Amino acid sequence: MFPQLDPTDATYLAGLILNILGVLLFFVLAVWMIQRKKNRQPSETPVLPVEPISKQEPRLVPYEILNPLSPEELSERSSALQQAYRQWKAERLLPTEEGRRLFLRTGVEKSGLRYQLVASTQTQALAILISTLMAEADPQASVQAEALFASLLAHPAFDPPELSSWKFMPDLPRSPKLDPDAHAELWAIYSMLAATKRWPGLNRFHYPELMLGRLQALNKYAETLPAESLERLPFSGYLLKSLKPLDPVLNWSALDRHRGFPNPNEWDDFTSSPDTSRLGLSLLQSGMLALLDRDPESEEALRSLHVNLIKLVDEYLKQGLSDLTFSTIAMLSCTAPALITLQERELTDLLWANLSCAQPDKNDSLGATLRLLAMAFLANQV
């Protein structure tokens, strides 16, 4: 039998029991929360994967310091770039006869009894990159980039067929299969990778496998090229560094023969170079490597030829020194990243004034496309 408690004792006992239960509940809850926190914290500091250097990451010297522009200048240059892009798109981009591919004409050649428009891998690749850079200004840029790349896939090289013929006739059903352009192929892979990063939903082709296969085919092809052919190729330092993470085991020593370009021994006087396209595209790569990746070797190489580079730009601005295959506009455009790196503000302003009002020849789509790339650099849009 339980003892009988008067109401006062019963009330006191009930309160004591509730207090004890409350303390126990609070203790259990505190232990549970402490254990839960421990389980969520790793015992060691996590090691984050090292990402390759890219232009989106902070630079040692901010782009805005190397190329300082006021808000008014930024707005003016951005508007001018968009206007130049719209004109380029309206005048340069041509559909193929079946309508699902795009190309830029780089000339006209006779095939049989008819004259055919000619396009090149180099120009197509740069056009893909321009489409990517102008994505915010053009809702159709992603479709445009894929249509440009489709033209490269439709015109395979003679060997290896995984790459594209260095030039082709887009409107000719059986365009001749020629050798690939190794430097242009690097641009094509780089540009399409930039496009798939900008638009992850691109699905006209299976890009991851396609780009990796293309890179591996290019690597094998480069190893078969004779020394004299490799010597004629432009410096590709920025492209090789950017593409290396795609397949880190590939050895690019064949194409990376000019590490630290420009070499003072080879380019003592820029204006005496007989191969203007190689010189221009090499300067573009060296400038991009120095400007976008702050590569110390490229920065030092550009500083060593600072005087000669100024002389080159000055002479091109005054009279032009280019041949028919690489125009004055193309050459001047290729110098933009190097001049920004060297902080030649007066010269970059002159370059902007020249390029912003330039009118490339109808067959100079390479120069017209490089002009847009240079304008993007000079407007801090890259």
pLDDT tens-digit readout, 144-198: 999 999 999 999 999 999 999 999 999 888 899 999 999 999 999 999 999 999 9
Tokens of 287: 């400038």
pLDDT, position 264 = 54
This prediction has a pTM of 0.83
Phi (first) and psi of residue 334, to 5 degrees: -70, -20
Cβ(191)–Cβ(176) under 8 Å?
Answer: no
The 3-state secondary structure of the chain reads CCCCCCHHHHHHHHHHHHHHHHHHHHHHHHHHHHHHHHHHCCCCCCCCCCCCCCCCCCCCCCHHHHCCCCHHHHHHHHHHHHHHHHHHHHHHEEECCCCCCEEECCEEEEECCEEEEEEEHHHHHHHHHHHHHCHHHCCCHHHHHHHHHHHHHCCECCCCCCCECCEECCCCCCCCCCCCCHHHHHHHHHHHHHHHHHCCCCCCCCHHHHHHHHHHHHHHHHHHCCHHHHHCCCCCHHHHHHHHHHCCCCCCCCCCCCCCCCCCCCCCCHHHCCCHHHHHHHHHHHHHHHHHHCCHHHHHHHHHCHHHHHHHHHHHHHCCCCCCCCCHHHHHHHCHHHHHHCCCHHHHHHHHHHHHCCCCCCCCHHHHHHHHHHHHHHCCCC
pLDDT, position 97 = 85
pLDDT tens digits, the chain, 382 residues: what are they? 445 545 555 565 556 565 666 656 666 666 666 665 444 333 332 232 333 333 344 344 567 788 889 999 999 999 999 999 999 999 999 999 888 999 999 999 988 778 899 999 999 999 999 999 999 999 999 999 999 999 999 999 999 999 999 999 998 888 999 999 999 999 999 999 999 999 999 999 999 999 999 999 999 999 999 999 998 899 999 999 999 999 999 999 989 866 556 665 555 556 566 688 999 999 999 999 999 998 988 898 899 889 989 999 998 998 776 666 799 999 999 999 999 999 999 999 999 999 999 999 999 999 999 999 999 999 999 8
Half-sphere exposure at residue 335, Cβ-oriented, CA atoms within 13 angstroms:
32
d(CA 306, CA 303): 5
At a CB cut-off of 8 Å and minimum separation 6, what does 139 contact? Answer: none
pLDDT, position 318 = 87
d(CA 261, CA 298): 7
Cβ(373)–Cβ(130) under 8 Å?
Answer: yes
Tokens of 115: 């004259």
At a CB cut-off of 8 Å and minimum separation 6, what does 54 contact? Answer: 242
Cβ(102)–Cβ(143) under 8 Å?
Answer: no
Q: Which domains does the chain have, with CATH numbers?
A: 61-92+263-382 (no CATH), 96-257 (1.50.10.10)
d(CA 18, CA 336): 79
Tokens of 47: 């090691």
What distances in angstroms separate CA 50 from CA 47, 54, 86, one per listed residue? Answer: 9, 12, 39
Q: Minimal CA–CA distance to 374: which of 130, 154, 155?
A: 130
pLDDT, position 88 = 98
d(CA 54, CA 245): 11
